[in-house]
């Protein structure tokens, strides 16, 4: 095992991280492309540095716990030190699911090694946070047990839910069981007939930069319209997506689609696919005029689900948020969980940060 704390050493891990990620079945949110971009953009904030715990079997990388160390306070304020999984943030458009990455046959020994490392360093930390671990994470319960075995204080709490829908056995079968299916088929026909609706999928790498700008523009229009600043008023989030989108596209993970009315892009869905799953947690609808009566954003989501199903995607994850339309498209909640880890000395009387 070794620990990497030098931001400049992160890029050297790309080949072995990518190989492990492929073997692990982990989500895009745990990929080198996503987290190295996150580290470059958000990890450079004052008081942050990487703390990557790498586990090896011989010379083979078999596990990564991609932590970031945060140090805050000083002066008249007490100094606080903590570890949390990279990708964490309160911004929409960041990671809905966080986790460690392991080779399947080494999951238990890797979790044990991570727990022992945290037991060694936790006395100098206020807390360690494993946030947004999915309900079906292959690591959550193993980590919980191994951390407790070291004598650390570990609590588990709910971290929201991500509704998701199953697209098996096939599109025609699943759509007939959805509450909104009939209405959206009808509205799609009306949008096509009355407003010249066309669906567009961004396929060419050269188109990705401009497409991301259009997506963010539409998202801002949506929120500015109701008097909100919109998440893409955050320059760091804009920079993150400008940098990460081309990298994801090169790996075949970016699934960015638009609805055009009268030839103009008016709605978008930003999705990420990996293995047999797809995450589609960010959508945007701009100024659609009279077409708003036909729910163009929902129609685009419906077309996205159809396309995903016909391409062999088995699970569509709508991301955080429990909006009613998701359940009208067959979704059921999958909880996320947070593990809060403290040394016994720090645990008494402390709550979740």
Residues 123 and 183 in one domain: no
The pLDDT value given to residue 177: 95
Number of domains in the chain: 2
Residues 51, 73, single domain; the answer is yes
The predicted pLDDT at position 348 comes to 58
Q: Judge if 34 and 149 occupy the same domain.
A: yes
Look at residue 76 in the predicted model and tell me its pLDDT: 72
In a domain, residue 324? The reply is no
176: CATH: 3.40.630.30
257 and 211 fall within a common domain: yes
As a three-state string, the secondary structure of the chain is CEEECCHHHCHHHHHHHHHHHHHHCCCHHHCHHHHHHHHHHCCCCCCEEEEEEEEEECCEEEEEEEEEEEEEEECCEEEEEEEEECCCCCCCCCCCCCCCEECHHHHHHHHHHHHHHHHHHHHHCCEEEEEEEECCCCCHHHHHHHHHHCCCEEEEEEEEEEEEEECCCCHHHHHCCCCCHHHHHHHHHHHHHHHCCEEEECCCHHHHHHHHHHHHHHHHHHHHCCCCCCHHHCHHHHHHHHHHHHHHHHCCCEEEEEEEECCEEEEEEEEEEECCEEEEEEEEECCCHHHHHHCHHHHHHHHHHHHHHHCCCCEEECCCCCCHHHHHCCCEEEEEEEEEEECHHHHCCCCCC
pLDDT of amino acid 43: 84
Cα 107 to Cα 57: distance, rounded to the nearest angstrom: 12
Half-sphere exposure of 25 (CA within 13 A, CB side): 10
Domain range for residue 269?
168-313
Do 147 and 176 belong to one domain? no
pLDDT at residue 275, as a whole number: 87
pLDDT for position 241: 96
| Pair 117, 173 in one domain | no
Residue 254 lies in a domain: yes
Greatest distance between any 2 Cα atoms in the chain: 67
pLDDT of residue 56: 98
pLDDT at 92: 57
pTM score = 0.94
Position 94 scores a pLDDT of 83
Q: Is residue 114 located within the same domain as residue 256?
A: no
Mean pLDDT in each 10-residue stretch from start to end of the chain (353 residues)?
93 97 96 96 85 97 97 79 86 83 98 97 95 96 97 95 96 96 97 97 98 97 92 93 97 97 96 94 92 97 97 96 96 97 73 50
Residue 345 pLDDT: 74
**Residue in this structure with the two tokens 């982990």, named with its chain if needed:** 26
């Amino acid at each position: 095992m070794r620990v990497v704390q030098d931001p400049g050493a992160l890029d050297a891990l790309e080949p072995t991280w990518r190989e492990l990620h492929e073997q692990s079945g982990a989500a895009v949110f745990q990929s080198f492309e996503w987290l190295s971009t996150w580290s470059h953009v958000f990890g450079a904030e004052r008081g942050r540095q990487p703390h990557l715990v790498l586990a090896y079997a011989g010379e083979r990388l078999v596990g990564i716990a991609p932590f970031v160390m945060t140090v805050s306070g000083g002066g008249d304020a007490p100094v606080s030190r903590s570890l949390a999984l990279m990708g964490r943030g309160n911004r929409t458009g960041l990671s809905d699911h966080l986790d460690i990455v392991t080779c399947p046959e080494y999951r238990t020994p890797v979790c044990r090694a991570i727990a022992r490392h945290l037991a060694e360093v936790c006395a100098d930390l206020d807390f360690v946070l494993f946030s947004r671990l999915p309900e079906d994470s292959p690591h959550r319960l193993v980590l919980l047990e191994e951390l407790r075995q070291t004598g650390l204080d570990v609590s588990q709490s709910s971290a929201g839910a991500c509704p998701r829908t199953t697209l098996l056995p096939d599109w025609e079968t699943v759509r007939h069981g959805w509450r909104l299916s009939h209405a959206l088929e009808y509205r799609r026909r009306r949008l096509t007939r009355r407003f010249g609706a066309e669906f567009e999928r961004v396929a060419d790498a050269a188109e990705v930069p401009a497409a991301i700008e259009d997506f963010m523009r539409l998202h801002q229009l949506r929120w500015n319209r109701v008097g909100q600043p919109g998440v893409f008023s955050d320059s760091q989030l804009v920079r993150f997506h400008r940098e990460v989108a081309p990298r994801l596209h090169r790996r075949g993970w970016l699934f960015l689609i638009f609805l055009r009315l009268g030839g103009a892009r008016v709605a978008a869905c930003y999705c990420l696919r990996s293995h047999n799953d797809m995450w589609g947690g960010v959508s945007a609808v701009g100024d659609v005029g009279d077409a708003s009566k036909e729910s163009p954003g929902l129609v685009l989501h419906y077309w996205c689900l159809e396309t995903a199903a016909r391409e062999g995607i088995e699970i569509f994850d709508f991301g955080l948020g429990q909006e009613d339309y998701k359940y009208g498209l067959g979704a059921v909640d999958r909880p996320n969980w947070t593990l809060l880890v403290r040394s016994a000395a720090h645990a008494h009387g402390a709550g979740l940060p």
